[in-house]
Amino acid sequence: MPSTYRAPWWLPGGHTQTIVAALRPPPRPTTVRERWETPDGDFIDVDFAGPAQAPSMLVVFHGLEGSADSAYGRGLAAAAIAIGWRVALPHFRGCSGEPNRLPRAYHSGDSAEIDWILRRLAPASQRVVAVGISLGGNVLLKWLGEQGAAAQAVLGRAAAVSASLDLQACGDALDHGLNRLLYTRLFLASMKARALAKLAAHPSNASNIDARRMRTARTLREFDDAYTAPLHGFRDVDDYWTRASSAPWLARIRLPTLVLNAKNDPFLPPAMLAAATREASASVLLESPATGGHVGFLEGPFPGQHGWLARRLLDFLSNDA
């Protein structure tokens, strides 16, 4: 398990690993980008690394406002390439550095998007495994539950890291206290900029969006209620967060799946983590190390080094049993 962090007195350990891991990313691997046309006339960008004819492919789904260049994407890609694997890093719509074409964006429950991506990446000659990080982990777990045993025809194994299993719990945690200052403020700045650009590009789509309330939102709840929920056909934020959460789907997962959430993850309090995973199926391996923060999992003395997370995930995903 990751080494215990001796965090600065003014910043709890969960925050320390979360922030340091993001601010000190591993080196960027060499990637080649492909643009895929989506079934509904939009596009996504997918970055590839490693040998094209590798026997195994790792697919990494990024988190909220993330990309293939996020620290965890770099670390996982480098570790997988080192053992001879190919890596695919799909971007959710609008996250590759260029706005997508359609009025819609991406959201925490868009398992249909993951479905067509995985099926396109799953040729019969190559073993495919997948990892979802944070928001990407939630969407991947939801897809696994919806598919049940049918997921075994697409993937060999799967893992979710720091997944937002219960969006109500995560939203409430992020909208209060230090979380709101450290994370929510940055998320909202990025999300508002994208949303305003989207509304400017698609003015006819603004009829069901409260742009003023979205622009002045100070919490994720307010933003998702004003923008994300109506944009993607949900009644309101509670309808969105309830229907998009992956926790209710854990009981239906039939593919060997690792769910890795640190107990000191500031995005999902320990009591909520325990409640969200209580009904997980026997196919789900739950691991809750004491430290790790939100997608941190650094090792060694402060400020720490990347490496443990990729080793743990690849060890699990390499197992064919």
Active-site positions read 134, 265, 294
- Residues 6 or more apart whose CB falls under 8 angstroms from that of 145 comprise 246, 248, 249, 250, 251, 252, 253
**Contact in structure between 140 and 130 (CB atoms under 8 Å):** yes
Q: Which is nearest to 242 in space by CA: 140, 103, 142?
A: 142
CA separation for the pair 213, 227 (Å, rounded): 9
Would you call 176 helix, strand, or coil by DSSP?
Answer: coil
Look up residue 301 and give its two tokens. 């003395």
Confirm if 184 and 283 have CB atoms less than 8 A apart.
no
Tell me the two tokens of residue 153.
């025809």
CA distance 221 to 173: 11
Which of 271, 264, 311, 259 minimizes the C-alpha distance to 291? 264
The C-alpha atoms of residue 237 and residue 133 are separated, in whole angstroms, by 22
Q: Is 47 helix (H, G, I), strand (E, B) or coil?
A: strand
